[in-house]
């Protein structure tokens, strides 16, 4: 019960303290001494006094003091002190009471013993900028001392240590006495460094009087770096220092898939992640995958190259624009990383320029690796049947070995795993090269030498005879010279040259020819002409290096020393020492060696033989042809100044321009086609050859096609349509032949005397363009028929042509015209055949076989032979026979080539076939030569226009040559006056032409210039009685229709029968027909 009373008193007392009084008068408490409102001390002393009724001190009052939420205590002594106060807000409540009053008062203050500080922060701890934004934040308002101030660089509460300083003008008050910002400028002279931002000491004090105190946050470190951020692309692919083009370069190559890792090393840590960097990496081969590992503070990243091909040039590139370092600097561009990944083993090919057969004792063998190899030498070459003579290294992939043959069969090969490429791949075994060695057959060399000698001697004699004939013609020794003085020797010699050229071109047919025949045609290849060029040395000719091998910036001539390649060139190597190869250089030096120009010129590779053959043929054609044309011009000038000053203007006969040049052009066409076609074939068969070769080859072939078209148009328009030329021929009616004569006529033609005439009288074009048509028969225009009467001096009024208006021309039957048109195209057919042979000879440069071109040539030549037998295009039977034999020999050669392609002949059988082909050549050549020498003999006799004597003609031949040197008057005295005047000096008689001119009553001095057809008519008037019977003439063997002459000469005849006419003809002398031949020969 007592405890309850005590508790009630305490509660009631407390409640009374909460009010100013519980009962009685009002008391007031005043603090006489107290700490400041904010104190930096942990102790506090108070003194107080109670007043009654406002100003009267209460001496009897009792005091109780209560601090914060503590229990109130007695403080009757009117003062109290506290210590060890905690920081924070405090409240002291003092209450006074007495019996009749109560009063309280409280005092609030704050204890703050914590010194103010500031936190310094920058926009970024790493930067590359010129200025840096800095924020200063105080922990509490710092009012003492005026707060934060920064009036100048030297008077600023923010201190900067390092290459930087504050910018006072940039100070910004964000919150008074609490937050500030300003700029700090970084020195532009320093590329990189660190600055320390720190608050000054005693900057200010807080309201409690605590002085500013620096803390850890009062300083800030800033790293700046303006240097470029470099990135290095690396790989574990092995590196080699190789000397390329006289420059030491770094080559990276491997065949190990585990080493295809790519590493990026940055000079500074970067902010990008591995995934972001992967998106900036690109590769031309395969894919990239990241590799987990230590990044070294975002300085190192690893990736793996996968899914590459077996042989690839891998190039890895980095787009560094989006990669930033922690300073904000973009990464600098870096060179691409390129290396060679190759798992293919080097393939090696052996070949030789000597072919699979050779007569040379030293055989050059070229060894070509598909890519450069290292450590290869002569000890790795396996040879059987011979021994190694020398070894040369032309490049890292091309080598030459010279093998001396000591047996008939030589075998060369390269074993596998004897050398390796730049990636470490061992080589594969090469092909086994087998070469057969043979000695040149004596028969082939003798025949080729004799053929050359005989042809050159014949050409020389024919040239002198033609020159002498032209010289005599210019002196007036032939009042009416025979056209055969001009055409026969030169045409026959031209056909002989074409015959030799045909066999020479068969050397390049796509068939393996027998040795005897091959050496023969090789010995006569001068007719093409095919000689080594003057600047080709013997060594170059042996290994068939091109005439001017190109050694340029891409050359790859290497020598291995201490496992390094020495690639020669003339550039400065010091500035690029160790520089990695680019992708193009990798491709150039290691992946595609065929791009290197000098590889095309080594050892007679098909690429080099293309231009070599073209240069040889075209060079010698230009030299020989140009020399002959120049000689022709010189001789023509000599004849021009030596010609006789007569009333009549005389031409130069066979020396007229461009008759000789036309012969040369037609002869050179197959050789030109061979040279041009070889250029085109070399480009399409072997990629990498110069495209210029195709352009040149096509242009040359187009020129040949234009010439063929011009020839076709001339034959069609000029002869077929009769715009320029007309062929006229003598036909005899009523003439009978024996059976053997009929056989000859059916085989070789009728042998009728024919004559070509130009539309314009005395046109020199008849001689100039004669090589195209002059020895061929054409569609005839006029025919002389029914020659009768035994006395040529009687019955002058009779006529040859039954025409009232005395028309001199008569049309031939349609069928004969058609046959004549077809005959004239024989020249075109022969030219096309020779052009095709030249094209095929140039199309197959390698040792290969092909049946189609042989079949094509055999078909053309067989058709030509059939055309010869059917149409009989030549005027002379001798020429027809020689041409048939020559074409038949050519058909035999092509048939033999087909047999060689059809089966493999044993050595003995192949030799017999070769002898047979040689015999075919000899038959054709001997026939041509016999015809040529017979023509030369006949021409020599024709030089004597009076007695037709060979010795007299030989004398005239010498006179004609001497006329070129000796004075004209002296030489002219040596010519018989009768020949100069056209009379016979032996019996005082007259020549046939003069005789019939007088018998016709013509006394005009210009009668010799009358058209030949008028002369024939006058002869007929004075010599024959016209037979008007309907007798038939023998049919032309070259025509399938008989009896055609009567349809043309279908006029009334005399009462005599054909039988009588035939008997009259048999009794008729042959002198008149010979006289007609003389008239035709006078044109």
Which contiguous run of DSSP H or E holds residue 938?
A: helix 907-942
Q: Please report, for residues 141, 160, 934, 986, the alpha-carbon distance to residue 118 in angstroms, rounded to integers and kept in the order given.
A: 10, 15, 132, 152
The pLDDT score that the predictor gives to residue 1024 is 43
Quickly tell me which residue has 């006949």 as its tokens.
938
Integer Cα distance of 741 and 139 in angstroms = 144
Torsion sign, CA atoms 950, 951, 952, 955: positive
Integer Cα distance of 201 and 223 in angstroms = 24
The pLDDT score that the predictor gives to residue 740 is 65
The pLDDT score that the predictor gives to residue 183 is 94
Integer Cα distance of 612 and 599 in angstroms = 14
CB atoms within 10 A of CB 493: 24
CB atoms within 10 A of CB 41: 15
Integer Cα distance of 1009 and 852 in angstroms = 56
Please say whether the beta carbons of 136 and 233 come within 8 A: no
Asked if omega into 529 is within 30° of 0 (cis), the reply is yes
Asked if omega into 658 is within 30° of 0 (cis), the reply is yes
The pLDDT score that the predictor gives to residue 703 is 93
Angle subtended by helix axes 442-475 and 950-962, to nearest 10? 80
DSSP 550: -
Residues of the chain with pLDDT below 50 are 1-3, 5-6, 9-10, 12-13, 15-24, 539-573, 593-607, 644-649, 688-689, 782, 784-809, 983-1012, 1021-1035, 1037-1073, 1075, 1078-1083
Q: Among residues 1060, 1037, 1036, which one has the least CA distance to residue 1048?
A: 1036
Give CA 1015 to chain center in angstroms: 67
Domains of the chain by start residue, with CATH: 14-111 (2.60.40.10), 118-225 (2.60.40), 231-342 (2.60.40), 348-441+548-601 (2.60.40), 722-811+986-1081 (no CATH)
Question: Cα torsion at 777, 782, 783, 789 (round to 10°)?
Answer: -140
Which contiguous run of DSSP H or E holds residue 787?
A: none
Q: Please report, for residues 127, 229, 297, the alpha-carbon distance to residue 266 in angstroms, rounded to integers and kept in the order given.
A: 17, 7, 10
DSSP 875: S
Burial 689-711 (b: 16+ CB within 10 A, else e): bbeebbebbeebbeebeebeeeb
CB atoms within 10 A of CB 561: 9
């Amino acid at each position: 019960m007592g405890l309850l009373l005590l508790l009630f008193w305490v509660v009631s007392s407390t409640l009374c303290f909460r009010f100013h009084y519980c009962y009685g008068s009002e008391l007031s408490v005043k603090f006489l001494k107290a700490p400041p409102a904010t104190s930096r001390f942990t102790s506090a002393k108070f003194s107080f006094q109670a007043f009654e009724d406002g100003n009267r001190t209460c001496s009897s009052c009792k005091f109780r003091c209560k601090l914060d939420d503590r229990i109130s205590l007695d403080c009757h002594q009117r003062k109290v002190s506290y210590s060890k106060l905690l920081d924070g807000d405090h409240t002291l409540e003092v209450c006074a009471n007495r019996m009749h009053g109560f009063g309280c008062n409280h005092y609030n203050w704050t204890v703050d013993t914590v010194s103010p500080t500031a936190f310094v922060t920058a926009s970024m701890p790493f930067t590359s900028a010129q200025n840096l934004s800095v924020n200063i934040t105080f922990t509490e308002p710092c009012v003492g001392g005026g707060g934060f101030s920064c009036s100048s660089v030297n008077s600023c509460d923010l201190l900067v240590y390092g290459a930087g300083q504050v910018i006072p003008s940039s100070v910004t008050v964000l919150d008074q006495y609490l937050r500030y910002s300003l700029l700090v400028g970084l020195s532009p002279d320093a590329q990189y460094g660190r600055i320390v931002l720190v608050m000054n000491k005693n900057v200010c004090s807080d309201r409690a009087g605590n002085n500013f105190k620096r803390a850890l946050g009062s300083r800030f470190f800033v790293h700046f770096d303006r240097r470029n951020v470099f990135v290095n692309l690396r790989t574990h692919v092995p590196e080699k220092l190789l000397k390329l083009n006289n420059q030491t370069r770094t080559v990276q190559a491997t065949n190990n898939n585990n080493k295809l890792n790519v590493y990026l090393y940055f000079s500074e840590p970067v902010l990008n992640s591995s995934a972001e960097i992967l998106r900036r990496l690109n590769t031309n081969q395969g894919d990239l995958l990241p590799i987990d590992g230590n990044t070294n503070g975002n300085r190192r990243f690893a990736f793996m190259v996968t899914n590459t091909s077996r042989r690839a040039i891998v190039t890895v590139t980095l787009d560094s624009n989006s990669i930033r370092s922690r300073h904000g600097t973009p990464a600098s561009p870096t060179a691409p990383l390129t290396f060679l990944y190759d798992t293919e083993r080097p393939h090696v090919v052996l070949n030789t320029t000597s072919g699979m057969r050779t007569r040379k004792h030293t055989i050059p063998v070229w060894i070509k690796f598909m890519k450069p190899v290292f450590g290869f030498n002569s000890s790795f070459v396996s040879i059987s049947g011979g021994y190694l003579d020398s070894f040369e290294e032309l490049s890292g992939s091309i080598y030459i070995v010279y093998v001396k043959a000591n047996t008939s069969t030589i075998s060369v090969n390269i074993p596998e795993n004897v050398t390796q490429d730049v990636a470490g791949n061992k080589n594969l075994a090469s092909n086994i090269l087998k070469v057969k060695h043979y000695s040149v057959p004596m028969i082939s060399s003798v025949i080729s030498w004799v053929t050359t000698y005989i042809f050159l001697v014949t050409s020389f004699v024919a040239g002198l005879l033609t020159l002498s004939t032209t010289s005599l013609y210019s002196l007036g020794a032939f009042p009416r010279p025979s056209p055969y003085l001009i055409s026969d020797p030169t045409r026959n010699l031209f056909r002989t040259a074409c015959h030799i050229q045909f066999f020479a071109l068969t050397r390049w047919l796509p068939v393996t020819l027998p040795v005897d025949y091959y050496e023969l045609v090789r010995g006569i290849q001068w007719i093409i002409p095919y000689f080594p060029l003057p600047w080709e040395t013997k060594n170059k000719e042996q290994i068939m290096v091109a005439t001017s091998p190109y050694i340029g910036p891409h050359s790859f001539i290497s020598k291995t020393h201490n496992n390094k390649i020495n690639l020669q060139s003339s550039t400065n190597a010091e500035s690029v020492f160790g520089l990695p190869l680019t992708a193009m250089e990798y491709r150039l030096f290691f992946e595609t060696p065929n791009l290197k120009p000098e590889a095309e010129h080594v050892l007679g590779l098909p690429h080099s033989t293309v231009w070599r053959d073209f240069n040889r043929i075209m060079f010698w054609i230009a030299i020989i042809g140009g020399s002959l044309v120049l000689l022709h011009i010189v001789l023509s000038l000599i004849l021009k100044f030596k010609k006789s000053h007569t009333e009549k203007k005389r031409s130069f006969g066979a020396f007229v321009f461009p008759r000789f040049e036309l012969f040369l052009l037609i002869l050179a066409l197959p050789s030109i086609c061979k040279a041009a076609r070889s250029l085109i074939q070399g480009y399409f068969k072997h990629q990498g050859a110069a495209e210029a070769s195709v352009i040149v080859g096509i242009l040359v072939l187009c020129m040949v096609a234009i010439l063929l078209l011009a020839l076709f148009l001339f034959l069609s328009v000029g002869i077929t349509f009769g715009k320029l030329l007309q062929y006229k021929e003598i036909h005899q009616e009523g003439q009978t032949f024996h059976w053997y004569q009929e056989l000859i006529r059916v085989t070789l033609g009728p042998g009728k005397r024919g004559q070509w005439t130009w539309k314009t009288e005395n046109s020199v074009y008849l001689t100039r363009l004669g090589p195209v048509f002059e020895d061929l028969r054409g569609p005839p225009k006029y025919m002389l028929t029914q020659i009768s009467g035994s006395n040529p001096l009687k019955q002058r009024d009779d006529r040859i042509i039954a025409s009232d208006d005395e028309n001199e021309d008569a049309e031939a039957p349609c069928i004969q015209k058609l046959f004549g048109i077809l005959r004239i195209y024989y020249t075109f057919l022969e030219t096309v055949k020779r052009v095709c042979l030249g094209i095929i000879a140039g199309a197959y440069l390698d040792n290969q076989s092909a049946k189609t071109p042989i079949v094509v040539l055999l078909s053309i030549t067989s058709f030509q032979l059939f055309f010869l037998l059917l149409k009989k295009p030549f005027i002379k039977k001798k020429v027809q026979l020689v041409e048939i034999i020559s074409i038949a020999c050519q058909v035999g050669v092509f048939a033999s080539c087909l047999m060689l392609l059809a089966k493999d002949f044993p050595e003995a059988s192949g030799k017999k076939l070769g002898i047979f082909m040689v015999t075919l050549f000899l038959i054709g050549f001997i026939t041509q030569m016999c015809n040529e020498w017979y023509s030369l003999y006949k021409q020599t006799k024709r030089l004597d226009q009076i007695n037709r004597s060979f010795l007299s003609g030989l004398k005239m031949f010498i006179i004609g040559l001497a006329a070129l040197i000796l004075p004209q008057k002296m030489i002219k005295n040596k010519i018989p006056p009768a020949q100069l005047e056209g009379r016979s000096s032996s019996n005082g008689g007259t020549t046939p032409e003069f005789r019939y001119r007088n018998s016709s009553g013509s006394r005009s001095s210009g009668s010799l210039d009358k058209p030949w057809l008028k002369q024939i008519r006058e002869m007929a008037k004075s010599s024959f009685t016209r037979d008007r019977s309907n007798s038939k003439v023998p049919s032309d063997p070259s025509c399938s229709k008989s009896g055609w002459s009567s349809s043309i000469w279908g006029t009334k005849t005399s009462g005599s029968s054909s039988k009588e006419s035939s008997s009259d003809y048999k009794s008729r002398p042959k002198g008149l027909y010979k006289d007609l031949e003389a008239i035709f020969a006078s044109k």
